[in-house]
């Protein structure tokens, strides 16, 4: 992998600053896990019948960012990037995808999520989660997305090791 230039979360600080930093740290971890690999390597699947790949994880997390920030706080009807039926599993099949396409979508959704979070007055800001048909706080959304990254970065660890033996971070 390339040089690890992630910025670690603060050891002291407020709740919002800490959540934001941990989320950004996990976003950077996903990018680090994919660094230095070819499109073909990024599409390598874990183990049959699973279609899980690093590129699939990038695509999936673009959907997660879009769903939990844009759909909750701005446009409840915006479609997913790779599925018309709200099928989050569709993003995992990256067999026809490229790094450029997947990362462009993911980076755009991350930037959009950051703008939404920074524009909110507080972590108590409320949005509407259409799938649950309930209101949710920005705090809940940030924790949920952070947990998604933690889970999937664990998958990324195993995927990366299977591709080229690289471990760590």
Q: Identify which of 4, 98, 108 has the alpha carbon closest to the alpha carbon of residue 55.
A: 98
Q: 135 near 129, Cβ under 8 Å? A: yes
* Res. 91: pLDDT tops 90: no
**Domains, the chain:** 15-164 (1.20.120.450)
Please give the Cα distance from 96 to 130 (Å, whole number): 30
Encode pLDDT of 43-73 as tens digits. Answer: 999 877 888 999 999 999 999 999 999 999 9
Tokens encoding 72: 């909750």
Encode pLDDT of 131-154 as tens digits. Answer: 889 999 999 999 999 999 999 999
Q: 84 near 122, Cβ under 8 Å? A: no
Determine the angle formed by the axes of helices 54-65 and 15-34, rounding to 10 degrees.
Answer: 150
Output the pLDDT for position 2: 64
* Res. 1: pLDDT tops 60: no
pTM for this model (two decimals) = 0.93
């Amino acid at each position: 992998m390339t040089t690890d230039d992630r910025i670690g979360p603060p050891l002291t600080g407020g709740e919002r600053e800490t959540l934001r930093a941990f989320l950004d740290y996990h976003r950077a971890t996903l990018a680090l896990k994919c660094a230095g690999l070819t499109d073909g390597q990024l599409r390598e699947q874990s183990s049959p019948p699973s279609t899980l790949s690093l590129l699939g994880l990038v695509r999936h997390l673009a959907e997660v960012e879009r769903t939990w920030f844009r759909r909750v706080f701005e446009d409840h009807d915006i479609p997913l990037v790779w599925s018309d039926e709200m099928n989050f599993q569709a993003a995992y099949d990256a067999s026809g995808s490229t790094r450029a396409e997947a990362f462009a979508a993911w980076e755009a959704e991350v930037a959009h999520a950051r703008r939404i979070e920074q524009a909110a007055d507080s972590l108590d800001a409320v949005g509407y989660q259409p799938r649950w048909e309930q209101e949710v706080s920005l705090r809940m959304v940030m924790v949920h997305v952070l947990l998604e990254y933690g889970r999937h970065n664990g998958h990324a660890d195993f995927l990366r090791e299977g591709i080229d033996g690289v471990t760590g971070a």
